[in-house]
Amino acid sequence: MLIYLCEDSLEGVFSGIYKAFEEKRDKNDTALALQEEPLLFAEYQSVEPDADRTRRVMNTLLRRFGEEDALSLCLALSSEDPGKAQAVYGTVADGLRRNCRPGHLFDNLAESTVHKAFSLARAAGRELHHLQGFVRFEELEQKVLYGVIGPKHNLVTFLMPHFADRLPMEHFLLYDAVRDICGVHPAGAAWYLQKGSGERFALPGAGGTLRLSEEEKQYQTLFRHFCQAIAIRERYCPELQKKMLPLRYREYMTEWKKQS
Amino acid sequence: MMEYLALGGGQSLTEKLQILTDAAKYDVACTSSGVERKGNGRDMGNSIAAGICHSFSSDGRCISLLKILLTNECIYDCRYCQNRCSNDLPRATFTPEEVCTLTMEFYRRNYIEGLFLSSGILRDPTFTMELLYRTLWLLRNRYRFRGYVHVKAIPGAEPELIRRTGFLADRMSVNLELPTAAGLKALAPNKHRKSILTPMRQIQSGILANRNELALYRSAPHFVSGGQSTQVIVGATPESDWQILNVAESLYQKFDLKRVFYSAFVNVTGDKALPALPGGPPLLREHRLYQADWLLRFYGFRASELLDEERPYFNVLLDPKEDWAVRHLECFPVEVNRAPLEQLLRVPGIGVKSARRIVAARRSAALGFHDLKKIGVVLKRAVYFITCSGRLMYPVKLEEDAIVRGLTDGKDRVQFGSDGMTYRQLSLFDDGSFSRPVSALERQAGALGEL
């Protein structure tokens, strides 16, 4: 059994997949892992992440499985699950072997690897969809919008295109406080990611250098009033609200923050 | 027109927003789905076909759009409506600019997905429609907003105004309010069924004509691309579920509506002609109607299969699909590995997604109950109605009483082991109460439309 040891990132895992196919490995005798674990009869081999190989794997996935399923594979890799690399590798190998048509990669749900990759992608996709709605931007001085999130999956990469398409002429920052990654979008230009920017992007309330604009407080108050006024008293049901809007998101949302 | 609006001054924006949100909250349509529109790299906004919920209010309903009235002044005196002219409450009117600014600033901060604009009738329907049109025109052309916009068409307004507004909006709706003409006559003396159906028909034919136009010219302007919807109040008048469902079905068939929304009646005016509803709004009824609505739209059911004249109300304990299934045991059990999609869709516990997944997955291998669980089938409900490769999951009595007892018991009558496969012999002490109280969660989930 040969186990490729990959870096915990999309590039890392895709480079591992490339390597496995380059060396024409039998998928039953090969695995991808993120960490070394003591296994009898296993031989470990490290794989360096490589941008060019990642691109080639990505192109193959897009061509063979279609855009939707390729995106699902990427979403599965945004999870924190230690078995994600193996699940994605197994699914890709299975799909290529079956020669499946685009859009049918996850058909074989009875297969446990495929099901694993599928459920990882589904969980990440759900959180992504939630966050598209639950991200809150605050306006800083000089009209820069600033949003903080603390998601379970590493989703900044997936959220940035959504907001860049939506707010093309705005400067905005989207900061993942858990992973210390910040997406930066300058008005009218392409967005990029910055790692390890913790101090520079301190919360406006937490003594950081960022200052809110003057109008910001007014709109926050307006929105809070709106959220209260829109509820129907006769149908009051906090359990349902909790089910639809889990508590872990509320920490970062304007309407749930304590007013200073 | 502008003079009239200028007179509304004196209130702060916060006060106005509070009054006009409060006035709009009984309208249930808050979906932002059905339109896929990419950004153009310059103007603010796009639209996602799946729709996005941005928050949830304390009644558990989704907040997706900035749902407001342009004004809550109204010349009509509908008995069920809190904005009726004889009701004494604070009145306010937004200027079109205020609506636009609020929409843009809320949208930038990702509070909302777009605007839902309705209005009380100010002076006359045409005048009101003109105000709505003017507001949307400003929002689209001066403020360059590309997000989702849902606007009401005012019955009785000039058709040309409705047509023009349709080119600026993603969805339009005319509220039917009460399912029958008699109910409308009793509670809304100023509204007539005919005047409600006329703009509905106009929008329908507008959408159809636009579809043909778009087929010819790809860059032609879109007319109400998200389709039209309507709302029916449940429980204000004595109509049965059967009548309401029939009305909904014919609206879907004859008017090509995208959605019919059901709104459990809340007595806000205390009018003598209205039911008092001491137990709160009829939320379970509303929930059952939404479930049946889904069956009509996505599961290939017809209204006449679910209810009929002899049984005009939904079962309180069973959802409409379970209810249909136990009355048609001759159609079951269904063999999962062979049955066509339409037949799978009729099994309780199998939804549209899981039915599709079953059809895809069984191409590569015969499915067992384990696999169904992975696929997302709710075995607790489906188990009475399906076989895998000719086998039932465990011996169940295919008999109406036994199945109903199994379906309605809150604490799983059949205890699943860790592998989900074992069953336990029933003992004397297992016999839980027959009636399962319907939880508040279940009752209200329908109100959201799950979109």
pLDDT of residue B448: 65
pLDDT < 70 positions in chain A: 197-209, 260
pLDDT band at B412 (very low <50, low <70, confident <90, very high): very low
Asked if B191 and B74 touch (Cβ cutoff 8 Å), the reply is no
Tokens of A180: 């210390």
pLDDT band at B427 (very low <50, low <70, confident <90, very high): very low
Coil, strand or helix at B103 = helix
Asked whether residue B82 carries a pLDDT value surpassing 60, the answer given is yes
Minimum Cα–Cα distance from A233: chain B residue: B59
Tokens of B380: 């607790």
Asked if B104 and A143 touch (Cβ cutoff 8 Å), the reply is no
Percent of chain B residues topping a pLDDT of 70: 89
Minimum Cα–Cα distance from B446: chain A residue: A240
pLDDT of residue A210: 75
Tokens of B360: 């895809």
Threshold 0.90, pTM exceeds: no
Helix (H) or strand (E) holding B335: strand B334-335
pLDDT of residue B446: 60
Greater model confidence, B348 or B7: B348
Greater model confidence, B417 or A121: A121
As a whole number of angstroms, the distance between CA A5 and CA A177 comes to 27
Contact A245 B357 (CB under 8 A): no
As a whole number of angstroms, the distance between CA A201 and CA A198 comes to 5
Asked if B261 and B249 touch (Cβ cutoff 8 Å), the reply is no
Q: What is the pLDDT of residues A168-227, one digit of tens each?
A: 999 999 999 899 899 999 999 999 998 876 666 665 555 566 788 889 999 999 999 999
pLDDT of residue B174: 94
Question: Measured between CA atoms, how close is A55 to chain B, in angstroms?
Answer: 25
pLDDT of residue A252: 92
As a whole number of angstroms, the distance between CA B366 and CA B246 comes to 40
Asked if B119 and B17 touch (Cβ cutoff 8 Å), the reply is no
Question: What is the average pLDDT across B393-419?
Answer: 68
Asked if B83 and B188 touch (Cβ cutoff 8 Å), the reply is no
Minimum Cα–Cα distance from A240: chain B residue: B60
pLDDT of residue B209: 94
B101 touches chain A (CB under 8 A): no
Contacts of A232 in chain B (CB under 8 A): 25-26, 59, 61, 266
Asked whether residue B296 carries a pLDDT value surpassing 50, the answer given is yes
| Whole-number average pLDDT of chain B | 88
Closest CA to B107 of B57, B59, B144: B144
Q: What is the pLDDT of residues B18-57, one digit of tens each?
A: 999 999 999 988 888 889 999 999 999 999 999 999 999 9
As a whole number of angstroms, the distance between CA B199 and CA A75 comes to 45
Asked if A240 and B445 touch (Cβ cutoff 8 Å), the reply is yes
How many interface pairs between A and B have CB atoms less than 8 angstroms apart? 174
Asked if B227 and B256 touch (Cβ cutoff 8 Å), the reply is yes
pLDDT of residue B421: 36
Asked whether residue B438 carries a pLDDT value surpassing 70, the answer given is no
Q: Which of residues 5-34 of A touch B (CB under 8 A)?
A: none
Coil, strand or helix at B83 = coil
Closest CA to B319 of B341, B294, B355, B356: B294
pLDDT of residue B10: 72
Coil, strand or helix at B177 = strand
From residue B190, alpha-carbon distances to A195, B184, B288, B291 in Å are 63, 9, 31, 32
pLDDT of residue B277: 85
B300 touches chain A (CB under 8 A): no
pLDDT band at B269 (very low <50, low <70, confident <90, very high): confident
Contacts of B45 in chain A (CB under 8 A): 166
Minimum Cα–Cα distance from B44: chain A residue: A167
